[in-house]
Structure 1
Amino acid sequence: MTDSKMANKKLLLLDVDCGVDDAQAMMMALAAPNVQILGITCCHGNTTIDNVCRNVLRVLKVCRGTEIPVFRGACRSLLGQTLNASDYHGKDGLGDVPDPNSPGLEHVQTEHAVNAMIRIVTEHTGQISLVAVGPLTNVALAIKMDPTFSTKLKHLYIMGGNMEGRGNTTICGEFNFVSDPEAASIVLNQFACPIYIATWEYTKRHFLPWGFFHEWINQGTEKACFMKAITENSVKRMKIKQSDKEVHRREGFVSCDSFAVAAAIDGSVVTEYMQCGVSVELQGELTRGMMVLDTLNLQKKQNRAFIMVKCDLEKLKQLMMSALK
Structure 2
Amino acid sequence: MQQAVLPTGCHLGKKLLILDVDVGVDDALALMMALAAPNVHILAITCTHGNTGIDNVCKNVLRMLKLCNRMEIPVYRGAGTSLLGVVHHASEYHGKDGLGDVPDPDAPGVEHIKSEHAANAMARIVNEHPGQVRCADIWERNSVVTRIEACFRTHPTFPSKLKSLYIMGGNMEARGNVRVCGEFNFVTDPEAASIVLSHFTCPVYIATLEYCLRHRLPWDIYEKWVNQDTAKARFMKKISAHTADYSQEGEGSKALLFGSGFVSCDSYAMSAAIDDSVVTERAQYGVSVELHGSLTRGMMFVDTLDILKLQHKATDFLECDMEMYKQQLNNALK
Of 294-303 and 174-183, the range deviating more from structure 2: 294-303
Q: Secondary structure at the match of 2:179?
A: coil
1:93 and 2:102 are equivalent in the alignment: no
Other-structure match for 2:28: 23
Unmatched segments (≥5 aa) in structure 2: 1-5, 252-256
Alpha-carbon distance in structure 1 between the residues aligned to 2:300 and 2:258: 27
Alpha-carbon distance in structure 1 between the residues aligned to 2:259 and 2:18: 32
Other-structure match for 1:201: 210
The alignment of Structure 1 onto Structure 2 pairs a total of residues equal to 320
Other-structure match for 1:60: 65
Other-structure match for 1:82: 87
Q: How far off its partner does 1:216 sit?
A: 1.1
Q: Which amino acid aligns with 1:205?
A: R
1:1-325 matches, within 5 Å, as 1-132=6-137, 133-134=139-140, 135=142, 136-240=145-249, 250-325=259-334
The 1:196–1:249 alpha-carbon spacing in structure 2 relative to 1, beyond 3 Å, is closer
Alpha-carbon distance in structure 2 between the residues aligned to 1:38 and 1:235: 31
TM-score (norm 1): 0.96
Q: Secondary structure at the match of 2:211?
A: helix
Q: How far off its partner does 1:93 sit?
A: 0.6
Alpha-carbon distance in structure 2 between the residues aligned to 1:7 and 1:76: 37
Asked if 2 retains the 8 angstrom alpha-carbon contact of 1:240 and 1:249, the reply is no
Q: Secondary structure at the match of 1:144?
A: helix
Deviant stretches of 4+, over 4 Å: none
Q: How far off its partner does 1:241 sit?
A: 7.3
Alpha-carbon distance in structure 2 between the residues aligned to 1:65 and 1:143: 29
Other-structure match for 2:3: none
Q: Secondary structure at the match of 1:157?
A: strand
Q: Secondary structure at the match of 1:129?
A: strand
Q: How far off its partner does 1:302 sit?
A: 2.1
Asked if 1 retains the 8 angstrom alpha-carbon contact of 2:213 and 2:258, the reply is no
Q: Secondary structure at the match of 1:6?
A: coil
Q: How far off its partner does 1:7 sit?
A: 2.4
Alpha-carbon distance in structure 2 between the residues aligned to 1:99 and 1:188: 38
Alpha-carbon distance in structure 2 between the residues aligned to 1:280 and 1:87: 26
CA RMSD for the aligned pairs?
Answer: 1.4
